[in-house]
Chain A
Amino acid sequence: MSKPLEVLLLDDEPIVGRRLKPALDKIGCSVEVFEDPAKAVERMDQKAFHIVVTDIRMEGMDGLQVLGHVQQNYPQTKVIMITGYAKIDLAREAMGKGVFDFIAKPFKPEDLRQIIFNAAEALGVPMACPSSGNRPVETSKPQGSFDPSTR
């Protein structure tokens, strides 16, 4: 049986974690939710994640700094940015810095599930198809597919 996709979800708006966690659990992701960027980074240094989903604008440490930390220390981890309303300029900056994808609020959980699915595919990790329940989908496994437990 395949291991779940490890996802760290970071957003300082509690509603995002509350509503997204069950939506991602449903497709077989193992999700840890954080509202404090410092605590999220601390957790990243303890445990490996396939995917980090982070808000772009937060107090203390913003999403671009989180992206920098991940890229410097865990280059195989895919980072997905959640941008606030009309923050396309910041999103563009993030894309230039190598973020896997971004999604603008407001959005539907289904939209993020699709991006997560694409990221899993890029990592070569099989997971449930976002629109077809929990049936695992075999993705084409690229060379050197990423298993965080081997980090």
Chain B
Amino acid sequence: MGILKTLKEIGQKEPEINGLYIQQIRFHQFVENTRKLLDLFDDGREKALDEYIFDRHYVITLIDRVVQRLGMMVYDACVLVPENGPAFYRVYDGHVLTAKRLVGSNPSGQATRSHDPAPVDTPDAAEPEYQLLFQALDWFNGKDKRLDATVMPFMEEMFSKVTQNLEPLGIEIDQNLFQQGQLASNLDICSQTLSTKAHGRLQLSTFYS
């Protein structure tokens, strides 16, 4: 019997396993996109704190990539927790607007958003490109923890909703994982846990069929 036929039969017998597998693949994407976003934040921080030579184009590209990757993360979250989709997209649209305002800020670095951070007290803050980068970093993960103000709390919120949604499937993921410094390595554990559970269920199903 061909593998496709076997899978089809299993799928007919156990539709929830298919669903679990789809969730597992999507969750893997969700984790991957979260990790990529954190990498982008780290890249920006490294350029700001070390004595790098960069131009405005670098910062604008960084902001664009964050918006794009955040959009992918929101899409994944909406597949995993469809009932939260409209709320997620509402917040995401707010972040897209913030990004547009940052990119559209004038060359002197004066952003036009209403909750601009206080000027950063560093020797390089006088450079407009550095000002823009610091403003972008503040938008990524600044002190303002409102979902629509900074990206990190929004990511944390999506992560929380997604993992809560996995609990009925018997998969429990520690909500405190979304803490800076611990997150990157623990994201692997989350993805592997779900993968193992899904794989285990398929094996059991095959065994009993």
**Chain A positions near chain B (C-beta within 8 angstroms):** 13, 15-16, 18-20, 84-86, 105-109, 112
The complex places the Cα of A148 from the Cα of B61 at a distance, in Å, of 40
Contacts of A105 in B (CB 8 A): 53-55, 57-58
List of B residues within 8 angstroms of A112 by Cβ: 53
Roughly how many angstroms separate A106 CA and B61 CA in the complex, as a whole number?
A: 12
Question: Which one of B29-37, B44-52, B97-105, B114-122 is at the interface?
Answer: B44-52
B127 at interface by CB-CB < 8 Å: yes
What separation, in Å, do the CA atoms of A18 and B51 have in the docked complex? Answer: 13
Report B's interface with A, CB cutoff 8 A.
47, 50-58, 61, 127-129
Alpha-carbon distance between A107 and B55 when the two chains are bound, in angstroms:
10
Query: In the complex, what residues of A have CB within 8 A of residue B53's CB?
Result: 15-16, 19-20, 105-109, 112
Residues of A within 8 A of B51 (CB): 19, 108-109
- Closest chain A CB from B108 CB (angstroms): 12
Assembly CA distance A96 to B51 (angstroms): 31
Q: What would be 20 A-B contacts, judged by CB atoms less than 8 Å apart?
A: A13-B55, A13-B129, A15-B127, A16-B55, A18-B127, A19-B51, A19-B53, A19-B127, A20-B53, A85-B57, A85-B58, A85-B61, A105-B53, A105-B57, A105-B58, A106-B47, A106-B54, A106-B58, A108-B52, A112-B53
CA A84 to CA B53, docked complex, whole Å: 11
If the complex has contacts A15-B127, A15-B129, A106-B47, are A84 and B57 also in contact, measured as CB distance less than 8 A? yes
Smallest CB separation, A3 vs chain B (Å): 26
Q: Is the CB of A13 within 8 A of B52?
A: no
Residues of chain B with a CB closer than 8 A to A13's CB? 55-57, 129
Distance of A19 Cα from B130 Cα, bound (Å) = 12
Selected from B55, B127, B129, the residue in CB contact (under 8 A) with A84 is B55
| Cα of A16 to Cα of B129 in the assembled complex, Å | 10
Could you tell me the distance between the alpha carbons of A49 and B129 in the complex, rounded to whole angstroms? 29
| Cα–Cα, bound, A97→B41 (Å) | 36
Q: Which 5 A-B pairs have the closest CB atoms?
A: A106-B54, A13-B55, A106-B52, A15-B129, A85-B58
